[in-house]
Every structure is written in C-alpha cells, then in structure tokens.
Amino acid sequence: MSRLIVVSNRVSVPQAMGAAGAQGGLAVALSAALREHRGIWFGWSGKETESFTGHLDMQRNQDVTTATIDLEPQDIEEYYNGYANRTLWPLFHYRIDLTEYDRNFGEGYERVNARFADSVLPLIEPDDLVWVHDYHLLPLGSMLREKGVTNRMGLFLHIPWPPTRLFVSLPNHEQLVASMLQYDLIGLQTEEWLDSFTHYLKKEMGLKVSDDGVIEYEGRRIVARAFPIGIDYEEFVASARTELAQGAYQRLKDSLGHGRKMLIGVDRLDYSKGLGERFDSFDRFLTDNPEMAKDVVLLQIAPPSRGEVASYQLIRHDLERKAGHINGAHADVAWVPIRYVNRGYPRAELAGFYRAADIGLVTPLRDGMNLVAKEYVAAQDSEDPGVLILSRFAGAAPQMEDAVLVNPHSTEDVSDAIRQALHMPLPERRRRHERLLASVRDEDVVRWRENFVGALRGEHGAEVPLDAR
C-alpha cells in the first residue's frame, strides 16, 4: 500500500483516541488514514519564528507521524490572515463585499506555499500519494511539480467554489486555477461547487471537461469530482455515550426548567455562518409567537476564530450587541431567550448539548458542507429525536432533504420553520430523523477518505487516468 502524505495549513492530531478535543472529526479521520497508510501529516505548527529556517519538527503521536514548520510573522500576516482569510475565504463564500485584494497578500501566499513545497519535498518518496487540503495551499501541487515531483497528487477543497462571475474578480485568477491543474485529482464538497469550477474551466479557459469530470489540459487529464465530507460517525456516537456527554445533557436539561424547549446553534464565529440573521430570526419568532415565547431558549455556542481579521472583530461586536438587545427586549426575571457562549467544548459535551436540544438551528449563508448539521443528527435519541432546521445554502443540504430546509436570509422563513419544528408530531420527527441518520451514518468520513484516496490511486475504474504523467 502506498504511503500517504497529507498536507494542510495546520496539523492537529487528537490527544487521545476517541477524544478529539474541539478539533473535530477531520483530525480523527485523517489520523486514522495516516495510521493505516503509515503516512506523514505535514503543515504549519501554528507557531512564529523570527526568521524562517525550514526546520522540520517531526513527532510521533498516537501512531501518526507529524512534521511541522514555524512561520515568520510576516508570513502569517500575508498568507494566513491576508490571502487565505481576507481574500479567498470571503470570495469563495460569495462575500465580494468583504474581499480584500492586496498584492502583498498574494506575494505572501506564494512565498509560504513555496516554503511548504521546499519543506515537504524531502519527505516524499517515489510511491507516496500526496493529499493537499484546502484554500490555503491551492498552488502547492504546481510548486512540487516544478521541483520534479511526479507522484500522484490530489487536492480537496473544504469550502465552496464561487460562481465564475465572482471568481473572476480575483486578480490572477487564471494563474491560480492553472496551478491547481497540476494535481491529478481535484475534490470539491458538492455538485454545485463542482459545476461552478468546471464552468470556469470551460468558459474562461476554453478547456474540455467530460461529463464524468475529466479535464484535458496541456496534454494531460485531470479529474474533478464531488466528495461530500461526513463526520466520524462511530467516534461521535461513542463520545455521545460517555459519562461526560450524559453529564452535559443532564446539566443543560436541568437548567432549562420544566417543559421548556431548546434550540441549539454551534458554529465558529464566522460571518459565513449567518449568526446575525439567525438571531434576527429568533427575535422575529419571539415577537410573532408571544404565546410560545417564554417556553423556548436559544443556546448559541460560538467560539471566536480569526480574531486578527477586522471583519471577524466586527461580527463579534455585532453579535454581542444583538444578543444583548434581544435579551433586553424580551427577557423576564426567570427567563433569558438567548444564551450566547463564546467558547469551545470537548466533543463529548457537545454531543450531550445536541441531544438536549429540541431543534438544531444550522443556518449558514454559505458553507462548503457543514458538519454541525450531521453531528446534531447523530447525537439525537432515535425514540424522541429533535428537528434539524438547515439552510439550503449549506453544502450538506442536498444530502439532508429530510431536514426543514430554510432560506437563512428570510427571518420569516426561519421563524415559520421554528414554529413548524416545535409543533412537529413525534411520528414525523422519527420518520425524518431515520432517513437523515441513515445518510449521516452511511456517508461518513471514512467513506469520504476511502473514496478520495481510492480515486487518487486510480481505483474504482481508474477514475484518475493512469497515464496522468
């Protein structure tokens, strides 16, 4: 079996089996793949260094080998806070109004990708498969090719691919996409993002793309396909059964008081998650349904992220103001409508919280996939499951049509959905949950990585052409 070299911006190996901390199932899933393939996970340590040395910190943790490098403050500012999170992230989430174009960001992005390429190069052996993750590292494959790497290389993009009309606002867009075409396999989360990507290739670059996603470029064939990511179902269900989860469930239930229903939102504090719109919708629900208002509570858990970037400071400020305003307008001595918590929790506790919630409110304005929707479903008690309210703009929506699908921009739509969910009869809740659970269980993260790695290897009918190079 070929070794696997995984490259991502950050490297996070779970501290102990079954307890991935707040890192999410991806760390668990990739670690499992790396253990199986005797691979290496390479990326940025998250640490700063005065001046870049390229020193590789190699460690072995839970049977996974990691290799990390430190970056200079200017690298972090231009590559991570700059091009990745002020240019690509907002643009790829259709937020052209928040997108900043700065030549220094672009140069920093190229420089850090070149540093990644130089540092990972000595780790790559002839038969290794190289699997690169996400928008931070789009040109990495082409830089490795320039250094003579002929291994099979795949890229998986965790976020949406924007419509061509938006994407072309990126200076040097063609150069960026041309560099991506040095991979053998390009994976996107959904058919929608795949369609946007191939539309760009055809319309802007005049390339031929077959119905099964084979792109012809400079005499080579590259495959682009959708690989919807899932959660680590087994790990999540196991963590939901732990004492920590039971304790979290009970504590939360007790705090609600008799007969009160709870809605839960769990998101990184990010403008793409539609938190402001969600608070407005809940406000509207309270105003339009005064007879039910005091019987519901919204628990919103939102750990801050990317605090160096101004748009994230603004959204944080805005949400604090909104939560304060809504609570001020509606609260009573024994009831506060929104519990707004800015911290992360261990996955087991999170599972207990999900289970205690009658409604999972997942309303991103745009999301590559959204794993919270899947975790909410996996954590429910099948006998008495809660209802998932899901944005139709989440990548997860096409797989989760048994959720109550909403337009997160419409406070009326979301408010109606909350009322519908609160009144939903038990048989309907069970019916919807059963179908949702089947897809969350069957299309899990193990299947996702097996499909991706299998395609990269050229299995399943040699989807990645064996004559690639």
Active-site positions?
Answer: 158, 367
If one asks whether residue 375 binds ligand ADQ (CB under 6 A), the answer comes out as yes
Which DSSP state fits 183? S
Encoded tokens for 240: 């939901």
If one asks whether residue 6 binds ligand ADQ (CB under 6 A), the answer comes out as no
Nearer to ligand ADQ, 151 or 439 (CB): 439
158 vs 322, beta carbon nearer ligand ADQ: 158
> Looking at 72-179, which runs of residues are DSSP E strands?
129-133, 153-156
Q: Which is nearer to ligand ADQ, 78 or 367 (CB)?
A: 367
Q: In the set 303, 398, 458, 465, which binds ligand ADQ (CB under 6 A)?
A: 303
By CB under 6 A, which span of 175-183, 332-340, 369-377, 459-467 interacts with ligand ADQ? 369-377
Tell me the C-alpha distance between 292 and 286, whole Å.
8
Using rule CB under 6 A, residue 140 touches ligand ADQ: no
Q: How far is the CB of 266 from ligand ADQ (least distance, A)?
A: 5
Report the b/e string of 168-197 with b at 16+ CB within 10 A.
eebeebeebbebbbbbbbbbbbbebbbebb
* 342, 269 Cβ separation under 8 angstroms: yes
- The answer to the question of residue 344 lying near ligand ADQ (CB under 6 A) is yes
Q: Which residues pair with 406 in a beta bridge?
A: 391
Residue 91 as a binder of ligand ADQ (CB under 6 A): the answer is no
Q: Which is nearer to ligand ADQ, 387 or 397 (CB)?
A: 397
347-356 and 243-256 helices cross at what angle (nearest 10)? 40
Closest CA to 180 of 227, 147, 223: 223
Cα(169)–Cα(96) distance, rounded to whole angstroms? 8
Q: Which of 367, 402, 416, 463 binds ligand ADQ (CB under 6 A)?
A: 367
Near ligand ADQ by CB under 6 A: residue from 155, 229, 262, 464:
229
* Least gap, CB of 375 to ligand ADQ (angstroms): 5
Q: Is 398 in the site for ligand ADQ (CB under 6 A)?
A: no
Site for ligand ADQ in 142-201 (CB under 6 A): 158-159
CA distance 265 to 31: 27
Query: For residue 69, which of 155, 129, 7 has the smallest C-alpha distance?
Result: 7
Considering only residues 108, 141, 265, 368, which one is a binding residue for ligand ADQ as defined by CB under 6 A?
A: 368
What number of chain residues touch ligand ADQ (CB under 6 A)?
Answer: 22
Closer residue to ligand ADQ, CB minimum distance, 26 or 464:
26
298 sits near ligand ADQ (criterion: CB under 6 A)? no
Contact 422, 286 (CB under 8 A): no
* From 18-26, 212-220, 376-384, 453-461, span contacting ligand ADQ (CB under 6 A): 18-26
- Report which DSSP code applies to 403: S
Give me the helices (H) in 289-404, please. 290-293, 310-330, 347-356, 371-379
**Ranges within 430-459 binding ligand ADQ (CB under 6 A):** none
How many other CB atoms are there within 10 angstroms of residue 209's CB atom?
20
The SS3 call for residue 51 is: coil
What's the residue count for the chain?
469
Asked if residue 5 binds ligand ADQ (CB under 6 A), the reply is no
Q: Which DSSP string corresponds to 359-378? A: EEEE--SSBS--HHHHHHHH
Binding mask 250-269 for ligand ADQ (x = CB under 6 A): ----------------x-x-
Residue 297 near residue 355 (C-beta atoms within 8 A): no
Q: Which stretch binds ligand ADQ (CB under 6 A): 30-38, 60-68, 193-201, 365-373?
A: 365-373
228 near ligand ADQ, rule: CB under 6 A: no
Residues near ligand ADQ (CB under 6 A): 22, 24-26, 158-159, 229, 266, 268, 301, 303, 344-345, 350, 367-372, 375, 395
